Chain A
Amino acid sequence: MSQAELDTTQLLKGVLDLAVLAVLAEADSYGYDVVRRLRENGLDHVGDASVYGTLRRLYQAGALNSYVVPSEEGPHRKYYGLNNRGRKALDQSAQNWASFSKALNHLLNGRSNGHAK
């Protein structure tokens, strides 16, 4: 694992809940589909087990609904969707993230400006 991958993995750990909630806010989804959509959105290094574990934990915490959709060609798919608690958690986490990333961006911009001067 390269240093860049390691960094990304560490960063993901803190925001994976938020990322999963955001994906499910777009549309209900099943485990593997969530992984695929996260990767499509640029989170290349997200681990399958991490997503699966996060889904199970959020479901256990009561933030998600779940229902099984029979599939004709493959296995049954367990779909997850946000319930009210999940949506509230997403809003809260999104705000936290916004202020956090704003602070960090400010810090990073200040540094690059400082170099520029």
Chain B
Amino acid sequence: MPSNDQPTDVAAYAAAVRLALSDLPTQEADILLEDLEDHLAEIAAEGDASLADRLGPPQQYAQELRAAYGAHPSARAQHASLRLTARRAVQQVVGSKVYEEVRAFLPQLRPAWWVLRAYLAVLILTAAFSRGDGLGPIPDPTTKRGLAQILATGVAIWLSVRFGRRGRPLPQPARVLAVSANVLIAFIAILVLGNMRSFAYSQVIGTLYQGQPPSDAAFAAGPVTNIYPYSQDGKPLTNVLLFDQDGRPITMEPSEAQTTYPIGADGQPITNAYPLNQRHMSGDPVAAPRVALPPWPTPTATASPSATSSPTASPSPSPTR
């Protein structure tokens, strides 16, 4: 004897089968499933057991049907199923507990955003209208610009909060505009802040680096630790005293080699007599480097009028002597 809920059982089972075959092209599905309900009703009329008990789960039934019919999903249906997967993923996120918690928590952050967007808007305007460097995320109250910035930020916060607290929602087009403006402020602010040197860097680190001479950078091979003067004819000179443009003795930075300075008659070390007498940590004296002396122009080649002005002591065929 058929059970009372037989028609609903048939309808539900057929619906599940149709759903499982929803990826088939519509026309094909129509032909295949044309009299599915009648067929299932016939089976249901045979006994009391539910269709799922007698035929297996509807998904499996659909699979068997698909195989026997030799049907393939359409390309369009595959796109649709991709879209379906994406929608399911979104639904899963939206339905999750974490999302709900975040959603419940977000409105509480709104006033914070009202303040933040006012500050960011003033920051963007300041960055747009001032070309000076040293513009930091925190206004400098010791400058006129900084003071104006702080004042403007205060006014902007007041306006922003007032605007945010206005209870009634905006009409649709204005709402879109407002959301776009908020997103734009956040986006530009990220760019501006990214380009900005931080307060700490510009104020503290910047001054620290100012006093550092670029000595290492000037000599690619490393710092100068000693100077070996040579005469024009290639003889190594000793105890050459070097001074800079202001008359100060030129000295070397202390290096790993130990330097022994000659002591003057007044008891003071003479620190600018080159080459310096240096010893390695091991005690061995630092050997003079091999140098490539440049070839000077030969006297015959320079027998031009300018040769007379040469102050060198080289044997010159000058007839003025």
A-side interface residues toward B, CB under 8 Å?
13, 16, 30-32, 47-54, 56-57, 60, 74-78
Within 8 A of A (CB), among B59-76: 61-70
The answer to the question of B233 belonging to the interface, with a C-beta cut-off of 8 Å to chain A, is no
**A77 CA / B36 CA spacing, docked (Å):** 11
A98 to B45, CA, bound (A): 38
- Decide: B64 and A49 in contact? CB cutoff 8 A: yes
A77 to B39 CA separation, bound complex (whole angstroms): 8
Among the 9-residue stretches B27-35, B161-169, B292-300, the one with 4 or more Cβ atoms under 8 Å from chain A is B27-35
Q: Could you pull out 19 A-B pairs where Cβ atoms are within 8 angstroms?
A: A30-B42, A31-B35, A31-B42, A32-B46, A47-B64, A48-B55, A49-B55, A49-B63, A49-B64, A50-B68, A52-B36, A52-B65, A53-B32, A53-B65, A53-B68, A56-B34, A60-B31, A74-B41, A77-B38
Instruction: Report B-chain residues with C-beta under 8 Å of the C-beta of A30.
Output: 39, 42
**What's the dominant secondary structure at chain B's contact region?**
helix
Closest CB of chain A to B91's CB: distance in Å? 30
A16 in contact with B68 given A48-B61, A49-B55, A56-B32 (CB within 8 Å): yes
Give chain B's interface residue range (CB within 8 Å of chain A).
20 to 34
* Complex: A54 Cα to B67 Cα, angstroms: 9
Q: Note all chain B residues with C-beta closer than 8 A to A31.
A: 35, 39, 42
| B37 CB → nearest A CB, Å | 8
Within 8 A of A (CB), among B224-245: none
Q: How far is the CA of A110 from the CA of B255 in the complex (A)?
A: 100
The answer on a CB contact under 8 Å between B69 and A57 is yes
Query: Which residue on A lies nearest to B68, using beta carbons?
Result: A53
Contact yes or no, B39 A50, CB < 8 A: no
List, in ascending order, chain B residues with CB within 8 A of A50's CB. 64-65, 67-68
A30–B64 Cα distance when bound, in Å, is 19
